[in-house]
Copies of this chain bind each other. A is one copy, B any other.
Amino acid sequence: MAAKSSSSEPGTVRPGGRTARTRAAVRDAVLAGLVEHGYPGLTVEYVAEHSGVHKTTLYRRWGGVDGLVAEALGLAGEDAWTPPDTGTLRGDLRALAHGIVDTFTAPGTAAAPTALIAAAFQSERAAEALRAFHRERFARCGPLIARAVERGEAPAGTDAGAVVRAVSAPLFLRLFITREPVDAAVADEAAEATLAAVAAGAHVTTAG
């Protein structure tokens, strides 16, 4: 969803076609550049060199570095990720928390999202792309909460976004604010704390 609106692609080239390959190459080059040099060091020249897409094409379609960063995060939001479905809310929350810990403790998977989070300190376009990415992720978790409500594990009106924020927040706090280690025990603590808050109705939306 999020990515759709940030893209000005002509609708005639199908996924998997030439345009999709170009966009994937550009995304990979942007992420590699952010990991290697950080946002202040990222240049359109670097992206051109590493994607094989001509510099003038990059400028014409994405306007510059900020547009390229937004595109990279937009594409990240177009992946096939679906929320866990373990049969219990506890299981689903633990799986979400462990997924975050796994992603950010393995250097290979941590580098790109970490670079994007860092870029948002310097680029409002990157911040907006990060916002859209998470809006989309929270929306995808709607069914997870709907199932929990059906099973009687969460009160009606529980907000999926609030629950996903709650279970991920303690992990991101440690990773990027207090700079403390995260591990499976921390993930489980986040899941248990969130379960208790959900049961107490702390994440029921009161307004629309």
| Chain A contact residues, CB within 8 Å of chain B | 38, 40-41, 114, 117-118, 120-122, 127-128, 130-131, 134, 162, 165-166, 168-170, 172-174, 176-180, 189, 192-197, 199-200, 202-203
Chain copies in the assembly? 2
Other A-B pairs, 17, CB within 8 Å; known A168-B173, A196-B196: A38-B122, A121-B176, A128-B179, A130-B179, A131-B178, A131-B179, A134-B177, A134-B179, A166-B170, A166-B193, A169-B170, A173-B173, A176-B177, A193-B197, A194-B197, A195-B200, A196-B200
Could you give 9 example pairs across A and B, Cβ below 8 Å?
A118-B118, A127-B179, A134-B178, A165-B178, A172-B172, A176-B177, A192-B202, A196-B196, A197-B197
The 6 closest A-B pairs by CB, nearest first: A196-B200, A169-B169, A193-B197, A169-B173, A193-B202, A134-B178
Q: How far is the CA of A200 from the CA of B193 in the complex (A)?
A: 8
Q: How far is the CA of A98 from the CA of B196 in the complex (A)?
A: 22
Q: How far is the CA of A180 from the CA of B172 in the complex (A)?
A: 14
